[in-house]
Amino acid sequence: MSNFTITTFDWVPELPRGYVRDIRLRWALEEAGIPYDIELTAFNERENTHYLHQPFGQVPWLSHEDKEIFESGAGLLYIAEHSDELISTENSSSVIQWLFAALNSVEMASLPWTILKFSGDTFENDGSKAIERFLHSRLKHMNEYLRERNWLTEQFSVADIAMADVLRLVDRFDGLKQYSYCRKYLEQCVSRAAFKKAYKEQLELYSTVR
Ligand SMILES: N[C@@H](CCC(=O)N[C@@H](CS)C(=O)NCC(=O)O)C(=O)O
């Protein structure tokens, strides 16, 4: 099998290091035991060709054989198709629905909140308060769902990779304080060897390249 390649930025500011979404693909490939290469694309001066791979000028994208996939969620599904570890035929619809829930129900609420946090907002105006309420309305239900569960579906899957990565960013800004089951779930996810390796290697990349 020819190698998978993940393309990510050649540099990012300090704050997002460890949180660049290539980590989702690294993590999945590590879980699956599939070898992969990392290629770099310029962060500061995005070349026109970047948009041929990722129409929004973002990262990551995944390349394999004659295929190229942008959107980390699509990349996760593609990797799952090449591994029995990350999606099983009996529960694929359940994994797919939870992968979408991670990106379309939870990350949809968490991302505006983390952008406000990144920018130092103090959550005093009505707009910010509404975004905070939106996030908590999602976390409240996630916490309940995770009360009796180790993983989103019967076994660890790409949906857990997406959900854990979404929750990780919320946790970074202490947003999971009141959600003990979310915290326990996240802890279980990030204590996996595959995550630790993916995380370490992303940090190493940004500490050595410029
Ligand atoms: N929905 C996209 C989001 C990708 C994304 O936000 N990538 C960030 C890095 S984690 C990025 O490229 N940021 C730079 C930018 O938006 O210009 C995915 O999941 O792949």
**Ligand 1 center from residue 103 Cα (angstroms):** 12
Q: What is the pLDDT along the chain (210 residues), one digit of tens a residue?
A: 568 999 999 999 999 999 999 999 999 999 999 999 999 999 999 999 999 999 999 999 999 999 999 999 999 999 999 998 899 778 899 999 999 999 999 999 999 999 999 999 999 999 999 999 999 999 999 999 999 999 999 999 999 999 999 999 999 999 999 999 999 999 999 999 999 999 999 999 999 855
Contact indicator for 74, 21 with CB cutoff of 8 Å: no
> Which residues, 6 or more positions from 34, have their beta carbon under 8 angstroms from its beta carbon?
1, 4, 79, 82, 83
User: Distance between CA atoms of 148 and 152, rounded to whole angstroms?
Assistant: 10
Neighbours of 31 (CB within 10 A): 24
Question: How many angstroms separate the Cα of 109 from the Cα of each of 28, 63, 80, 115?
Answer: 24, 29, 25, 11
Cα distances (Å, whole numbers) of residue 120 to 114, 115, 171, 173: 10, 9, 16, 11
Q: Is 21 in the pocket of ligand 1 (CB under 6 A)?
A: yes
From 21, 27, 76, give the residue whose CB has the most ligand 1 atoms within 8 Å, as the site to mutate: 21
Task: Indicate if ligand 1 lies below 6 Å from the C-beta of 188.
Answer: no
pLDDT at site 124 = 95
Amino acid identity of 76?
Answer: L
C-beta of 58 in contact with ligand 1 (< 6 A): yes
Question: pLDDT at position 134, please?
Answer: 98
